[in-house]
Structure 1
Amino acid sequence: MPHAKAMIQQPKVPSSGLMPAGDVLIRAKEAITNRDTLVELLAKHTENSVETVADVMKRPFYMDSRRAKDFGVIDKILWRGQEKIMADVVPPEEWDRMTGVKIADPF
């Protein structure tokens, strides 16, 4: 929608509370691994460089619909009359097939 917002940010780490230091370290390493994976996926699918994605993810990155489209996190901005556009949308199963997603364990 034209007035919608999108936001990307680094993965969050659950509160550590009174955990042993070793557990905090494990969570921190997992958060870094998750962040790196997310950066790589966003870079690949938005066609931005890894450096660009990593840079904007240092802080929450808010985008209006036009900027989100330019950045590559959305395909289209829908408005009144969207029924005609939605009729052209590829079903999820076809999208998965086109992008090479393989379902490891179907429900």
Structure 2
Amino acid sequence: MNMQSLLKQAQKMQKELAKAEELLNEQTYDSTMGGGVVKVTVKGSMEIETICIDEALLEKDGKEDLEEMLKSAINDALSKAVKDKEQKMNALTGGVKMPGGF
């Protein structure tokens, strides 16, 4: 295999990885806590998309419970996003760690 062919192959893989990362950044991941009274959706770009809190929960004196459920739901949704991104990128790269945040 000559260098030019190898370079073209690397460039093609870089474009595929960039496209996959862009798609993953737009993917959403949901998590619910407390039997569905707290729902969090995050994007693969690690941005919080939505937080929904059942009104019945707001009427209680459970500020600490609400805070804990929010924290747990956010961490769970972010964990799902990270795992999905790692799996999909590893599938593209054959498990080889790529430089530059890929």
Ranked by relative contact order (alpha carbons within 8 Å, sequence separation 6 or more), the top structure is: 1
Q: Which has the higher helix share?
A: 2
Q: TM-score, normalised by structure 1?
A: 0.31
Q: TM-score, normalised by structure 2?
A: 0.32
Who wins on radius of gyration, i.e. which is larger? 2
